[in-house]
Amino acid sequence: MAKKTVQKMDFSTEDKIKNAARTVFQRKGYAATRTRDIADEAGINLALLNYYFRSKEKLFEIVMFETLASYMSGILVLFNDEKSSLEEKLERLVAEYINFLIKEPEVPIFIMSEFQHNSVDILNKLPVKQLLNNSVFIRQYQKAVADGRISEPNHIHFLMNMLGMVVFPFVGKTWLKEVFGVDNEQFNLLMNERKHKLPVWIKAMMEA
């Protein structure tokens, strides 16, 4: 009985550390975060944090992969929804992606860094191939091309355009804030406006 109790407490502490890390990473960004900041947020001492996670880098990697896996599972359901149209999927995808990035601003930089250093590892850990290959979304896109509703036959161009238009503002957030003098609240307002504007712009490109 005692062994089970200890194991439960261990998992509870580990989850507490990961939740605290997620909060601090979102608030301060990866570069400005110290392991002591995370320990303070979790209400534990630094030695205990180091016992569970060897470094800030390892903890950040675990938190980001868990966050991405959770998000990707939801997108997988959306991409394979037989009941929604291609246009409905586009609107929901853009809205959910922007909502996700507002909540998890460190994700784009993490993904780019991971792909530069170990693209095979991240693809093995995340269901990206399963998400795209043979999905209802891709079949609907190909049918729209065959029906003459979309002029661009290559769905890769479409996905690159959509992802670029969604992700770039978050990757260039610091630059945009400095150049245009916007604060976090104004930036998030702009991103929420893009949830409605992007599907219109993307549809226009698809039909052009």
pLDDT: which is higher, 198 or 60: 198
Mean pLDDT in residue range 22-47: 90
- pLDDT value for 130: 66
pLDDT, averaged across the chain: 86
Q: Residue 10: pLDDT above 70? A: no
- pLDDT value for 60: 87
Per residue in 52-107, pLDDT (tens digit) is 998 898 898 888 888 888 788 788 889 999 999 999 999 999 999 999 999 888 78
Round to whole Å and give the CA distance between 7 and 193. Answer: 46
pLDDT: which is higher, 174 or 122: 174
- pLDDT value for 9: 43
**Measuring CA to CA, which residue among 117, 96, 127, 130 is closest to residue 199?**
96
CA–CA distances in Å: residue 27 to residues 39, 41, 45, 49: 15, 11, 20, 19
Where are the alpha helices (H) located in 126-183, listed in sequence order? 128-132, 136-146, 155-171, 173-180
Round to whole Å and give the CA distance between 24 and 75. Answer: 26
- pLDDT value for 90: 93
pLDDT category at 3 given cuts 50, 70, 90 is very low
Mean pLDDT in residue range 123-147: 83
Per residue in 169-179, pLDDT (tens digit) is 998 988 899 99
**Centroid of chain to Cα 174:** 18
How many of the other CB atoms lie within 10 Å of CB of 54?
10
pLDDT: which is higher, 29 or 186: 186
pLDDT category at 133 given cuts 50, 70, 90 is confident
**Measuring CA to CA, which residue among 100, 90, 99 is closest to residue 199?**
90
Q: Residue 117: pLDDT above 80? A: no
Percent of the chain with pLDDT over 90: 49
**Measuring CA to CA, which residue among 204, 208, 202 is closest to residue 91?**
202
